[in-house]
Amino acid sequence: MTEKEKCQNGLLYDANFDPELLSERMMCKDLCLEYNQLKNSDIEKRKDLIKKIIKNSKENLIIEPNFWCDYGYNIELGENFYANHNLIILDCATVKFGDHVFIGPNCSFYTAGHPLDVEQRNAGLEYAHPINVGNNVWFGGNVVVLPGISIGNNSVIGAGSVVTKNIPDNVVAVGNPCMVVKNIKN
């Protein structure tokens, strides 16, 4: 089994020295750098390049620079996706966003994690678990979402939150660790 296959199956894998993964990350990060250096007025170039980075996206999307991801091909964006400046998506596993998702500045979505076992960690092994975000979700600024998290439809994640557990539909959740503080009535 290749390191990429191990990653896709949620197993420990070597992301640091595997030639295939290194090459794919380098290509993606070069495209991200190019994207981040475009002028804001280059709307068509920005749109074309972000769709080259993130092929699994609907039509209406805006990602303000700076934007960084690892591979791009593991990201899926729904319709009317908006992300403010400094979005980071470590997409070693799939990161799916539903329709009408709004992300404040300086938010990060991490599918990659590292083992607690020091020998495995020092060997450069990591794992990746998918992140799923429903429809109509709003993230305040400086939110961090950890590996394996699902966030339900119509929920709001307050600024500065660190999401360590799944968040249900129709709630406001805040804090470190992020916890539900209010139900939203529709």
d(CA 38, CA 40): 6
d(CA 69, CA 64): 13
* pLDDT for 186 beyond 70: no
Q: Note if the bond before 66 is cis, omega within 30 degrees.
A: yes
Q: Which residues are catalytic?
A: 114
Q: Do the strands 179-183 and 108-110 form a parallel or antiparallel pair, or are they unpaired? A: unpaired
Domain total in the chain: 1
* pLDDT for 172 beyond 90: yes
Residue 27: domain span: 3-183
Say which amino acid occupies 30: D
Answer for the pair 14, 20: CB distance below 8 angstroms, yes or no: no
CATH number, domain of 39, equals: 2.160.10.10
d(CA 157, CA 136): 11
Q: H or E stretch including 63?
A: strand 61-63
Report the 3 state secondary structure along 60-93: CEEECCCEEECCCCCEEECCCEEECCCEEEECCC
* pLDDT for 124 beyond 80: yes
| Token duo for residue 107 | 């938010």
Answer for the pair 95, 74: CB distance below 8 angstroms, yes or no: yes
Answer for the pair 175, 142: CB distance below 8 angstroms, yes or no: no
Answer for the pair 95, 131: CB distance below 8 angstroms, yes or no: yes
pLDDT band at 66 (very low <50, low <70, confident <90, very high): very high
125-149, pLDDT tens digit by residue? 999 999 999 999 999 999 999 999 9
Q: What is the pTM of this model?
A: 0.95
Among candidate residues 106, 105, 104, 93, the one with its CA nearest the CA of residue 150: 93
25-54, pLDDT tens digit by residue? 999 999 999 999 999 899 899 999 999 999
DSSP label at residue 86: S
The number of C-alpha atoms within 13 Å of 114 and in the hemisphere containing its C-beta is: 11
Helix, strand or coil, per DSSP, at residue 158: coil
Among candidate residues 78, 79, 154, 150, the one with its CA nearest the CA of residue 109: 150
